[in-house]
Amino acid sequence: MTAASPSILIVGAGAIGALYGSALSRQGTQVSVVCRSDYDHVQQHGYAIRSVVLGDHVFRPHAVLRDVSQRASPPDYLLLTVKVLPQVDRAALIKPAVGPDTVIVLIENGMDIEAEIAAAFPNNELLSALAFVQVSRTGQGDIVHQALGSLSLGRYPSGTTPAAQRLAALFDASQFNCALTDAVVTARWQKAVWNTAFNPISVLGGGLDTEMMLRTSDNQALIRRAMEEVCAAAAAAGHALHPKLVDRMIADTRALPGYKTSMAVDYENGRPMEIEAILGNVVRSGRKNGVAMPTLETLYALAQMVENRLNVPR
Amino acid sequence: MTAASPSILIVGAGAIGALYGSALSRQGTQVSVVCRSDYDHVQQHGYAIRSVVLGDHVFRPHAVLRDVSQRASPPDYLLLTVKVLPQVDRAALIKPAVGPDTVIVLIENGMDIEAEIAAAFPNNELLSALAFVQVSRTGQGDIVHQALGSLSLGRYPSGTTPAAQRLAALFDASQFNCALTDAVVTARWQKAVWNTAFNPISVLGGGLDTEMMLRTSDNQALIRRAMEEVCAAAAAAGHALHPKLVDRMIADTRALPGYKTSMAVDYENGRPMEIEAILGNVVRSGRKNGVAMPTLETLYALAQMVENRLNVPR
């Protein structure tokens, strides 16, 4: 890794990748992107980003690649920001760009999403990151960053490293606060409490935002039960969470304007949803440890039905 | 009540009302109907019925009324076949046609749907009936009867009566087997085991038929858990059901071709769904008796969200 300015390759540069890539690029780092669906547009025009933090601007990556294999030399950091879907082999996707010294950084949703990458690249440093951000792709190369933006970053499965510190410092300098954690799996469980409840319910309720999901006391009770089951699964997996976490998350969510989850946005656009990463892996972890999760089991079975339904012509 | 041939008024003659009205009319009974939405068409052309049991035929009621108050003399039997919805005051709807000797007969879905009518007409005989039938309205006055057709009938809250026997005999003669029961509330709970599971899941899964709902073992497990919770609520309400009922219902349903529930059909046509009658009343009964119903509670909260979503512009 060069001392002055690391090279960064973002694989799957949609909303998350473009926003953070732009932020890092402004710190003088060389940021290239791999983006398949918007390749022609981004290659020609870059990303048009409207951000509550960075302002309106155009982000022109150092290089725009259609495919990872087009990369000549391995990057210092490879940031993986693709959706975690059963049909996407993420290890195979990034393999051509991973050199012996490349630090792999996952900025992705879901639980237990690291093991597959750790197994495929046992000699590479693997960092896991959580993004607390509301950002959407609204069209070819068009990114709208509505709110928040902070990150949490640590070595997988635990600890921190100089490379993690360096990347966190770059994010911090870019106006996106990045907290280092030496317990990133616990942090991931904590985020799962929100994600695993709100995401499937937003879809099963017919495409709801957070305000709609918290409107009635029956609905709030459902969100709470789902969250508490995630806490129980987390505790059984050795990651006890703060006893007030659920209260705090519901109160915080109610204080913010209504927000559509990533799964609801995917659902409404007919795109595959991260059901396994966000919900299925939590359920499997709880099952393994004998945790009763009747609410999550119901949400999971229903979400699978919806996913299968979307793949069947009416 | 006349000895030879009773007069019958069917209020809310959609698919169910038209099919059974036609069957009774063929027995020489005088059958009139109140139908609001299809009034002009039915008044002019009658109902065009395609039935697996009665064959293709046209049913011309004795009288077609737009409103119950148009009825000059009270009928011997008033058959109520409207959907049970919170926004529909069924007692007020039928009041103008209920005479002192009118027998009120409910052929409607749901649990605990009788008490409201019993309270409004304490001096009238009240019969409660369950229809095991697949019949749909496919257009103005167009009725398609796909399968089944038997009925179960008893006095509410229990027992049988000569009027019940007489009506059952008329149905029997019409090729629709009608079983008399002296425990109609138990029979209603039994039907609820199927309805309360399959109806909301068919909607929440995105508009599924029974075959789709039973495709995977995870999905079957969900149906089974929901059914078992209804059985627990029934038992707690004093209506213990057969221990093999759930197994039998799932096996029977798998043996039949895929079938869309009434709630899924309503959902897909943007019509109000019988969430309270079919699901909410079961949940309330279970809650009152301290029954744990985590699956039904989840389905209920989600179904309410979907219903509210349908009433909010996107």
Which pLDDT band holds residue B72 (cuts at 50, 70, 90)? confident
CB within 8 Å of B56: residues ≥ 6 apart: B48, B49, B50
Q: Has residue B215 been placed in a domain?
A: yes
Q: Which of A119, A152, A182 is where one domain is finished?
A: A182
pLDDT of residue B170: 96
Cα–Cα distance measured from residue B110 to residue B83, given in angstroms and rounded to the nearest whole number: 9
Q: Helix, strand, coil shares of chain A as percentages rounded to 5?
A: 45, 20, 35
pLDDT in tens, B206-259: 999 999 999 999 899 999 999 999 999 999 999 999 999 999 999 999 998 898
Instruction: At A18, list the tokens.
Output: 């473009």
| Residues in B lying within 8 Å of A, measured between beta carbons | 201, 204-208, 212-213, 215-216, 218-219, 221-222, 225, 294-295, 297-302, 304-306, 308-310, 312, 314
- Contact between A309 and B207 using a beta-carbon 8 Å cutoff: yes
Higher pLDDT, B313 or B186: B186
* 3-class secondary structure, A131: strand
Q: How far is A40 from chain B (nearest CA, A)?
A: 32
| Residue that is last in its domain, among B141, B164, B182 | B182
> What was the pLDDT predicted at A313?
45
Six-digit token pair at B278? Answer: 């079919």
B305:A205 CB<8 A: yes
CB atoms near residue A300 (< 10 Å): 22
Digit-coded pLDDT (tens) for B79-113: 999 999 999 999 999 999 999 999 999 999 999 99
Q: What is the mean pLDDT of residues B40-44?
A: 96
Whether residues A13 and A118 share a domain: the answer is yes
Question: Looking at the structure, do residues B20 and B100 belong to the same domain, yes or no?
Answer: yes
Residues B202, B109 share a domain: no
Check whether residue B159 and residue B190 sit in a common domain: no
Same-domain check for residues B178 and B190 = no
Q: How far is CA A21 from CA A7, A18, A30, A38, A58, in A?
A: 11, 5, 9, 15, 12
My answer on whether B161 and B53 are in the same domain is yes
Q: Which residues in chain B are closer than 8 Å to A228, comparing Cβ atoms?
A: none
**Average pLDDT for chain A:** 94
Q: Are the beta carbons of B205 and A314 separated by less than 8 Å?
A: no
Which residue did the predictor score with more confidence, B149 or A13? B149
Instruction: Give the pLDDT of residue B104.
Output: 98
pLDDT classification of A206: cutoffs 50, 70, 90: very high
Mean pLDDT for A305-310 is 88
Q: Which domain holds residue B133?
A: 7-182
Beta-carbon separation of B222 and A297 below 8 A: yes
Q: Is residue A108 located within the same domain as residue A226?
A: no
Residue B1: inside a domain, yes or no? no
Residues of B in contact with A222 (CB under 8 A): 297-298, 301-302
Tell me the per-residue pLDDT of A156-190, one tens digit each, with 9 for 90 and over.
999 999 999 999 999 999 999 999 999 999 999 99
Q: Is A201 within 8 Å of B309 when comparing Cβ atoms?
A: no
The predicted pLDDT at position A16 comes to: 96
Q: CA of B314: which chain A residue's CA is closest? A: A207
Three-point CA angle A14, A16, A17, nearest 5°: 65
Domain count within chain A: 2
Confidence (pLDDT) at A314: 39
For B9-33, what is the mean pLDDT? Answer: 95
Q: CATH code at B73?
A: 3.40.50.720
**Residues in chain B within 8 Å Cβ distance of A225:** 294, 297-298
Q: Is residue B314 pLDDT above 70, yes or no?
A: no
- Name the residue among A39, A96, A88, A85 with its Cα closest to residue A64: A39
Q: Establish if B2 belongs to a structural domain.
A: no
Q: Are the C-beta atoms of residues B229 and B178 closer than 8 Å to each other?
A: no
Based on the fold, state whether residues A17 and A147 are members of the same structural domain.
Answer: yes
| pLDDT > 80? residue A74 | yes
Contacts of A227 in chain B (CB under 8 A): none
Given this model, what pLDDT does residue B309 score?
Answer: 83
Which of A221, A294, A305 is nearest residue B206 as measured by Cβ atoms? A305
* In a shared domain, residues A165 and A194: no
Pairwise CB contact (< 8 Å): A206 & B294: no
Angle at A312 between CA A223 and CA B213, to 5 degrees: 55
pLDDT digits (tens, 9 = 90+) for A245-292: 999 999 999 998 898 999 999 999 999 999 999 999 999 999 999 999
Residue A111 belongs to a domain: yes
| Mean pLDDT, residues A139-153 taken together | 95
Task: Using an 8 Å CB-CB cutoff, list chain A residues near B229.
Answer: none
Contact (CB<8Å) A306/B205: yes
Q: Cβ(A205)–Cβ(B305) under 8 Å?
A: yes
pLDDT score recorded for residue B310: 74
What's the maximum distance between 2 C-alpha atoms anywhere in chain B?
A: 57
Average pLDDT, chain B: 94
Return phi, psi of residue B217, to 5°: -70, -35
Distance linking the first and last C-alpha atoms of chain A: 53
| Chain B residue nearest residue A314, CA to CA | B207
pLDDT attached to residue A311 = 67
Residue B200 lies in a domain: yes
Question: Same domain for A92 and A41?
Answer: yes
Q: What CATH number does the domain containing A194 carry?
A: 1.10.1040.10
Looking at the complex, report in whole angstroms how far the Cα of residue A11 sits from the nearest Cα belonging to chain B. Answer: 33
Structure confidence at residue A3 (pLDDT): 53
Asked if the model's pLDDT at residue B312 lies above 80, the reply is no
Q: How far apart are the first and last CA of chain B?
A: 53
Band of the pLDDT at B313, cuts 50, 70, 90?
very low
Instruction: Indicate whether A128 and A230 sit together in one domain.
Output: no
Partner residue facing A295 (CB), from B204, B221, B294? B294
Cβ atoms of A165 and A228 closer than 8 Å: no
Q: Is residue B278 domain-resident?
A: yes
Of A133, A167, A182, which one is at a domain's C-terminal end?
A182
The reply to whether A2 falls in a domain is: no
Chain A contacts of B204, Cβ < 8 Å? 204, 302, 305-306
In this predicted structure, what is the pLDDT of residue A244? 97
Q: Which residue of B has its CA nearest to A203?
A: B204
Average pLDDT over every residue of B258-267: 92
Residue in B219, B301, B308 closest to A301 by CB: B219
Q: What is the pLDDT of residue B140?
A: 94
Residue A37 Cα, gap to closest chain B Cα (Å) = 27
Looking at the complex, report in whole angstroms how far the Cα of residue A131 sits from the nearest Cα belonging to chain B: 28
CA-nearest of B205, B238, B244, B240 to B224 is B244
Q: Decide if A1 is inside a domain.
A: no
**Do residues A195 and A235 both lie within one domain?**
yes
Residues of B in contact with A206 (CB under 8 A): 305-306, 309-310
Torsion angle, CA of B19/B22/B23/B28, rounded to 10 degrees?
Answer: 170
Distance of alpha carbon A5 from alpha carbon A28, whole angstroms: 7
